[in-house]
Structure 1
Amino acid sequence: MFTMKPLQVLGINCKRVVDVLPHQLNLPTFLSTSCSFLSRKKKVNGYEDVDQGKYADLLRTVTTSKAGSQTPDSLFEEDHFLYGKVVRSKVPAQESDSKVPQNHIPLNNPNKVLLSVEKTDPNIPVKIGLPGKNQMANGRLPSVTRILQQTMPMEQAFYLERWKQRMIMELGEEGFIEYTAALFSQGKRFHAQLEDLLLSEEQYTQKPDDAEELVGYMNSAEHVLSHVVGVKTLESAVVHSELQYLGFVDCVAKYREKLCVIDWKTSEKQKPSLKNTFDNPLQVAAYMGAINHDNNYNFQVDCGLIVIAYKDGSPAHAHFMDSEMCLHYWDKWLLRLEEYKEKKEKP
């Protein structure tokens, strides 16, 4: 929601964006964007530009798989997903050799003391800025996005690299940089518009100067926004007091009567199932755990919601994560966090 570092792969100096705005646009969210406007006159084998040495074993597996038509050309056509409404997802089947976190900190905080409603103002959403280095006992803390990027599974990193090479062949180096910068900018404007609407509790009304992309995203998310009420947090920093990581939460509010950490995403391609969102479920679980262990927040959360809004205005997919599913992804997040710490400790 990269020991190849994806932002270095993209060639963009987004250090500030990664550390401060992990909610904006996680690279895996758009790593297989279809870009239907791009020319397809010449079929190009993107595997030729992928680091053959680094991904030799994986490349051999992908290109020789007997499970269906898995040739490079057909894989390039994977961008075409069918439309479909997905509200609830099932917990993935448990793998027989699945690992267990060595330090299993619970998702919910049994020791958290909640203030009475009389001592808080429920009408004012909590909005906390990122803490400075002098406010943190151990200096700088890693962000959720940075941790996920630096522990990205090799297969996922391979497809990201393949997508990057394909886009560069179509757009050129400069065009690719401009394209990714535009995606970040669109996501930023989308989040700002959502914040204004949720604070005002009004419906979106198109303005003459609204960009076409923003109009599409807002129209796409409209049916989800109608079920979002009781906003508790907007664009706010969270720090897990025990596990020592930080994040930036888009929103905490009730969705269909369930209090959720809500993560808003933008996409140009359909993502009808939770698996299409890559590491986003882990990101949401990480934010939930941080909120539950951060005393700045007078509540705990055990559900999540990932909303994928589409540029063409088609209805957004709202992927609801119940408490069981959140616990599943919390364990996966703990494993990634442990992997990150192990890598940092190596000389």
Structure 2
Amino acid sequence: MLTLCHRLGRLCLSSKGWFPQSQGYCSQQESVQDVIASIIKTAKANDPRLSNRTGKNPVPSKVRETKKQGAPKVIKGHEESEQTNSVQKCAALSSDIASEAEIETAEPVVMERKRTPVPSQTLLKKKVLQELEGQTDEEAETIAFIKSVRLSQPLAPDLEGYKEKFASFVEKMNLKRLPAVTRIISATQTDYQKYILQQWKLRMIEKLGTQGFEEYQKETFAKGHQLHSAIQQELSDKPAEVTPNIEGYWKSLQLVLPAIEHVHSLEDEISHSLLHYRGIFDCLAIYRGCPCVIDWKASAKPKPTLRDTYDYPLQLVAYAGALNQSDYLLERGIPHVNNAALVVAYENGDPAHIHFLDAAKCQYYWKKWLEKLHLYWVAKSKGDVA
């Protein structure tokens, strides 16, 4: 409002505030709208060209040009010249102000946003693979086949050709053995994950020394092996051999083991017939009334959420996917495995955490696993991983 008053004329100060004063067009009782209306009325009375025009923009083009070029010089007195300039300015200002009738009857304006055509996802992925990885169309399509494999559904008929192409792709590498799940996850760690692991190693070496850290790693591996052996004995209805160094972990599992029913397999190896990887899963049993792949983990720190378990869920779904695409389940009369359970036992004996992955969570982690597997085979084809 203050800016508007400046445009209308000089300002005068009263006890109630600032009021525009320009040659008799203002009083303390008048509002700004009254002032504008009075100025426009006076402008029309003094200039017949304004009074003859109607509509949205009553100001002639010449008046607008005058505004841009500056007010012309007049022979009459200074006051009359100033009044004329004020009238012209206010008339030009009024041309930009829509009336209430115009606002009420105005048609809504629809803004159309121009859309840039986006190439299909398949072509986009192929282009990225070609540019960033230097692969041919055939190589890109062959490796992209990985992401088309489902967790528990059979392969789509239109992908049968890619199944054979991918098998030939793996055979050309002359691998002595299919890559293990843990190897694939380790080889595809992000830079951030590698940094965190390296910082942890440096802290442990600083605390224990190089030789002490090596002994710590050997002891941790031995504890894990002994714990798995004791669990396997317990679930096989054999006396469990619990050594003193795993007593805390064993106590942590006492509420979990009784909930595991109808154990089908323990510590068995499986390979994926389509994606060509292998792994050893800990347990295949009934948990919560459905077939589950179960993995045991030992930890010194609490892991109450799946986020705290890092890449462990990827291992579980990788094993489940391999089981579903093999004859392993069919030979044992077991339906598809769409659920998994990650059991984390604690060294201090606190109750273990059981992270149950239902079908929806398994599907989510399966996609994450396929992304890592895709990265691995790309790197393997380029010789970036051993």
Q: After TM superposition, is the score higher than 0.5?
A: yes
Query: 2:154–2:325: 8 Å Cα contact kept in structure 1?
Result: no
Deviation string 1:169-195 (CA, Å, 9 cap, x unpaired) is 000000000001100000000000000
User: Which residue among 366, 369, 373 is the counterpart of 1:333?
Assistant: 369
Q: Find the counterpart in structure 2 of residue 134 from structure 1.
A: none
Distance apart, 1:201 and its partner CA: 7.2
How far, CA to CA, are the matches of 2:308 and 2:238 in structure 1? Answer: 30
* 1:110 matches 2:142: no
Matches within 5 A, 1:64-79: none
- Specify the SS of the correspondent of 1:294: coil
- Matched AA of 2:266: L
How far, CA to CA, are the matches of 1:138 and 1:152 in structure 2? Answer: 22
How far, CA to CA, are the matches of 1:256 and 1:323 in structure 2? Answer: 13
Q: Find the counterpart in structure 2 of residue 90 from structure 1.
A: none
Q: Find the counterpart in structure 1 of residue 297 from structure 2.
A: 265
* 1:188 matches 2:220: no
Aligned length: 222
User: Which residue among 258, 261, 286 is the counterpart of 1:229?
Assistant: 261
How far, CA to CA, are the matches of 1:303 and 1:284 in structure 2? Answer: 9
Distance apart, 1:271 and its partner CA: 0.4
- Matched AA of 1:333: W
- Specify the SS of the correspondent of 1:152: coil
How far, CA to CA, are the matches of 1:169 and 1:327 in structure 2? Answer: 41
TM-score by length of 2: 0.54
Query: 2:188–2:372: 8 Å Cα contact kept in structure 1?
Result: yes
Identify unmatched segments of 5+ residues in structure 1: 1-98, 112-136
Q: Find the counterpart in structure 2 of residue 149 from structure 1.
A: 186
The change in CA–CA distance for 1:141 and 1:295 in structure 2 (over 3 A counts) is same
- Specify the SS of the correspondent of 1:147: helix
How far, CA to CA, are the matches of 2:327 and 2:154 in structure 1? Answer: 12
- Specify the SS of the correspondent of 2:236: helix
- Specify the SS of the correspondent of 2:295: strand
TM-score by length of 1: 0.60
Distance apart, 1:102 and its partner CA: 3.3
Distance apart, 1:168 and its partner CA: 0.1
Distance apart, 1:213 and its partner CA: 2.8
Distance apart, 1:138 and its partner CA: 6.0
- Matched AA of 1:277: T
Query: 2:272–2:321: 8 Å Cα contact kept in structure 1?
Result: yes
Q: Find the counterpart in structure 2 of residue 94 from structure 1.
A: none
Query: 2:294–2:340: 8 Å Cα contact kept in structure 1?
Result: yes
Q: How many percent identity over aligned positions?
A: 40
- Specify the SS of the correspondent of 1:332: helix
Matches within 5 A, 1:119-134: none
* 1:158 matches 2:202: no
How far, CA to CA, are the matches of 1:304 and 1:232 in structure 2? Answer: 14
Distance apart, 1:250 and its partner CA: 0.2
Comparing 181-190 with 251-260, which one deviates more in the overlay?
A: 251-260
- Matched AA of 2:149: I
- Specify the SS of the correspondent of 2:273: coil
- Matched AA of 2:214: I
Deviation string 1:221-268 (CA, Å, 9 cap, x unpaired) is 111111100111100000000100000010011112121100000000
Query: 2:261–2:285: 8 Å Cα contact kept in structure 1?
Result: yes
Distance apart, 1:211 and its partner CA: 2.8
Distance apart, 1:345 and its partner CA: 1.1
How far, CA to CA, are the matches of 2:270 and 2:260 in structure 1? Answer: 21
Matches within 5 A, 1:286-297: 286-297=318-329
Deviation string 1:26-79 (CA, Å, 9 cap, x unpaired) is xxxxxxxxxxxxxxxxxxxxxxxxxxxxxxxxxxxxxxxxxxxxxxxxxxxxxx
Relative contact order, CA 8 A, sep 6+: which one is greater? Answer: 1
* 1:177 matches 2:214: yes
Query: Who wins on radius of gyration, i.e. which is larger?
Result: 2
Identify unmatched segments of 5+ residues in structure 2: 1-123, 126-142, 156-173
Q: Find the counterpart in structure 2 of residue 39 from structure 1.
A: none
Q: Find the counterpart in structure 2 of residue 303 from structure 1.
A: 339
- Specify the SS of the correspondent of 2:154: coil
Distance apart, 1:334 and its partner CA: 0.5
Q: Find the counterpart in structure 2 of residue 322 from structure 1.
A: 358
Distance apart, 1:140 and its partner CA: 1.2
Q: Find the counterpart in structure 1 of residue 84 from structure 2.
A: none
* 1:250 matches 2:282: yes
Query: 2:293–2:340: 8 Å Cα contact kept in structure 1?
Result: yes
